[in-house]
Amino acid sequence: MTGFEAVPGGGAAVALDEVEISILRSLAVQLLELVGPGDEPADGGGHDPLEALDAMFAEGPTEPPSDPALARLFPDAYGGPGRKLSAREEEEARTYSAEFRRYTESDLRTRKREDALAVVRSLDELTAAGGPGAVLQVDADGARRWLGTLNDLRLAIGARLEVTEDESDELYQLPDSDPRKPMVMAYLWLGGLQESLVETLLP
């Protein structure tokens, strides 16, 4: 697979075979399970406007997730590893991060779920069309959703692999006997897809 290519009028397209469709769908579903089901009210009539206001101003968590993959998806807004802070600065960073997380994480989780769901549905449409493979084509909004999900998948897999920038070149040299090899191959493949999709969105 060569990756995404720009299409006239905006958006992008990529040719996928059955195995690639299956892998991408499985990973997107696992991402949905990782992020969580959410607590949004079911669609339908009769919404109470007061309940809608409550949902709008609902507070989220203040502590970072304990799962390393979730912590990579929902990092602290202030401070973070690699920054040298005094004790006072660290305390301020924790306070500011907690407040920022309280009012943003729920919405961020919702957006990540919606993006991953859009990816799953677009792949299901390809599968329903039948045949050994197909060309996935998405509009500009669909491309943004795919880009977000591809990035989230790489972050989550990178956290599971404990990948650092210094180790990126070593990933290409893992022997086939290394138990991390399948996950590393997925990580690198997703990176290629992500990079090609970014290029289609550049002016």
The predicted-structure confidence for 37-59, as pLDDT tens digits, reads as follows: 654 433 334 445 455 444 444 56
What is the spatial order of strands in the sheet that 12-17 belongs to?
Answer: 5-6, 12-17, 133-138
Rounded Cα gap, residues 110 and 152, in angstroms: 13
Q: What is the pLDDT of residue 162?
A: 85
Q: Which range among 13-22, 113-122, 178-187 shows the weakest confidence by mean pLDDT? A: 178-187
Q: Best-predicted range by mean pLDDT among 35-44, 84-93, 170-179? A: 170-179
**Measured at the alpha carbon of residue 48, what is the angle toward residues 45 and 52, in degrees to the nearest 5?**
105
- Cβ-based neighbours of 127, under 8 Å, separated by 6 or more: 21, 25
For residue 71, count other CB atoms closer than 10 A to its CB: 14
Distance of CA 143 to the CA centre of its chain: 13
CA dihedral 28, 31, 36, 39 (to 10 degrees): -40
Q: What is the pLDDT of residue 54?
A: 45
Q: What is the pLDDT of residue 75?
A: 79
**3-state DSSP call for residue 14?**
strand
Quickly state the pLDDT bin for 61 (edges 50, 70, 90): low
Report the share of the chain in percent with pLDDT over 70: 73
The better pLDDT of the pair 56, 102 is held by 102
| Owner of token pair 């949905």 | 32
Query: Would the pLDDT of 187 be above 80?
Result: yes
Query: Would the pLDDT of 26 be above 70?
Result: yes
